[in-house]
């Protein structure tokens, strides 16, 4: 049994890679990869994905375009 944080973080990615064989299109795979990247980033910095996503949508609705300052580690301190 491996307990390395990096290996545990990659586990959902490998499962997703196997499941992506059953997606209907390449666009679906890309959307899933983006979504999973956001979720795993939130997990690593200790932020609730739901809180982050709600905050992100509110900020984008206000017209913010400084995307580097809209990352999970900066928007949900």
Model-level pTM?
0.66
Q: How many domains does the chain fold into?
A: 1
User: Which pLDDT does position 62 carry in this prediction?
Assistant: 94
Per-residue pLDDT tens for 23-68? 778 888 788 888 888 888 898 889 999 999 999 999 999 999 998 8
User: What domain range is 66 assigned to?
Assistant: 5-75
The answer to whether residues 55 and 76 touch, using CB atoms and an 8 Å cutoff, is yes
Q: What is the pLDDT of residue 8?
A: 73
- Distance between CA atoms of residues 56 and 36, nearest Å: 16
Helices (H) and strands (E) in the chain, counts: 4, 0
């Amino acid at each position: 049994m491996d307990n390395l944080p990096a290996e545990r973080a990659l586990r959902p990615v490998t499962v997703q890679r196997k499941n992506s064989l059953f997606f209907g299109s390449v666009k679906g795979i890309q959307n899933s990869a983006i979504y999973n990247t956001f979720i795993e980033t939130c997990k690593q910095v200790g932020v609730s994905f739901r809180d982050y996503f709600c905050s992100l949508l509110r900020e984008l609705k206000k017209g913010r375009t400084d995307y580097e300052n809209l990352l999970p580690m900066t928007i949900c301190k």
